[in-house]
């Protein structure tokens, strides 16, 4: 297992609800390394404002790698989505996606995640078309920089656009993208995908990134999800990519990160 944890980058104001640890960026990285994490999922909102070389040096100084660049806080903090019916917002989101890809390449991340950043369905069929157009517009750039775009299947309680692996795979097949693939999050898989843990096997040919959280976004082992079964499937299909924690911060984000890693070590 290659395990990462979500951490906000220095420009982010406030606390992203699914990023862990307290303190400045350097402190958070040292805490992650001390817990035994190998990588960091960088939760950013304005990558162009960051010194990517400095971010990369900070990671290396702590023996960490950039596992992914996460877009999950962008829609909430900046109101930008790739399928907004407002042309100006949509254009700004596409420009930001290009910045995210370039930032990922500069810090050595193989992945840019696309979850809530894609937006909600504005009307039947239109949002899927707009998302496909956004992916096509950056596909060559991402491929040239060896960055993959990981589309996250999100349960219907949270969005009405691409709720499961089958829907995302259908969109990817229709577009024949070089750079795009599937992100499965345990929080969205369990109770939403057929066979639950077996969903990772079902979509193994498209799977490029994994998010981890227990029931209600609790720390791993504090809910009811069967992570032993999930990890057994991932081993069986030969998945060697990153698995990134995306937990609720709660009152003790440092403790949540620590107990989750301890739980994973015990599997």
| pLDDT at 191 (0 to 100) | 83
| 193-211 residue pLDDT tens | 988 999 999 999 999 999 9
Instruction: Please answer whether residues 145 and 101 qualify as being in contact, where contact means their C-beta atoms are separated by less than 8 angstroms.
Output: yes
d(C-alpha 151, C-alpha 172), whole Å = 9
| pLDDT at 166 (0 to 100) | 96
d(C-alpha 176, C-alpha 247), whole Å = 32
Which residues, 6 or more positions from 191, have their beta carbon under 8 angstroms from its beta carbon?
A: 155
| pLDDT at 160 (0 to 100) | 87
Q: Domain total for the chain?
A: 1
Q: Nearest-5° angle of CA 103, CA 152, CA 33? A: 55
| pLDDT at 120 (0 to 100) | 83
Q: What percentage of the chain has pLDDT greater than the value 90? A: 93
Residue 170 has pLDDT above 90, yes or no: yes
Residue 124 has pLDDT above 70, yes or no: no
**Polymer length of the chain:** 267
CATH number for the domain that contains residue 135? 3.20.20.150
The residue-averaged pLDDT of 149-175 equals 93
pTM over the 0.95 mark? yes
Residue 122 has pLDDT above 70, yes or no: no
Tell me which residue range forms the domain holding 168: 2-265
| pLDDT at 121 (0 to 100) | 81
The residue-averaged pLDDT of 65-90 equals 96
| 2-31 residue pLDDT tens | 999 999 999 999 999 999 999 999 999 999
| pLDDT at 144 (0 to 100) | 98
Residue 111 has pLDDT above 80, yes or no: yes
| pLDDT at 194 (0 to 100) | 86
| pLDDT at 16 (0 to 100) | 97
DSSP string, the chain: -EEEEEEE-TT--S--TT----SSHHHHHHHHHHHT--EEEEE-S-GGGS-HHHHHHHHHHTT-EEEEEE-TTHHHHH---TT-SSHHHHHHHHHHHHHHHHHHHHHT-SEEEESGGG---SSTTHHHHHHHHHHHHHHHHHHHTT-EEEEEP--TTT-SS--SHHHHHHHHHHHT-SSEEEEEEHHHHTTTSTTGGGHHHHTTTTEEEEEE--GGGPPTTSSS--HHHHHHHHHHTT--SEEEE----TT-HHHHHHHHHHHHHT-
Residue 125 has pLDDT above 80, yes or no: no
């Amino acid at each position: 297992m290659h395990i990462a944890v979500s951490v906000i980058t220095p420009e982010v104001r406030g606390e992203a609800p699914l990023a862990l640890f307290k303190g400045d960026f350097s402190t958070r990285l040292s805490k992650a390394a001390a817990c035994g994490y190998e990588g960091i999922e960088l939760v950013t909102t304005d990558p162009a404002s960051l010194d990517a070389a400095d971010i990369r040096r900070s990671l290396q100084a702590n023996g960490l790698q950039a596992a992914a660049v996460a877009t999950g806080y962008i829609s909430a903090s900046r109101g930008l989505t790739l399928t907004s019916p407002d042309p100006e917002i949509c254009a700004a989101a596409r420009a930001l996606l290009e910045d995210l890809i370039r930032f990922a390449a500069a810090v050595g991340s193989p992945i840019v995640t696309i979850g809530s950043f894609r937006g909600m369905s504005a009307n039947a069929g239109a949002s899927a078309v707009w998302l496909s157009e956004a992916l096509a517009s950056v596909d060559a750039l991402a491929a040239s920089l060896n960055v993959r775009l990981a589309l996250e299947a999100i349960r219907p309680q949270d969005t009405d656009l691409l709720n499961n692996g089958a829907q995302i795979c259908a969109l990817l097949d229709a577009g024949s993208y070089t750079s795009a693939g599937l992100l499965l999050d345990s929080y969205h898989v369990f109770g939403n995908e057929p066979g639950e843990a077996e969903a990772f096997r079902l979509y193994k040919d498209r799977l490029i990134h994994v998010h981890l959280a227990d029931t209600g976004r609790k720390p791993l082992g504090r809910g009811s999800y069967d992570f032993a079964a999930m990890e057994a499937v991932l081993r069986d299909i030969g998945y060697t990519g990153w698995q990134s924690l995306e937990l609720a911060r709660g009152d003790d984000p440092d403790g949540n990160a620590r107990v989750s890693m301890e739980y994973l070590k015990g599997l």
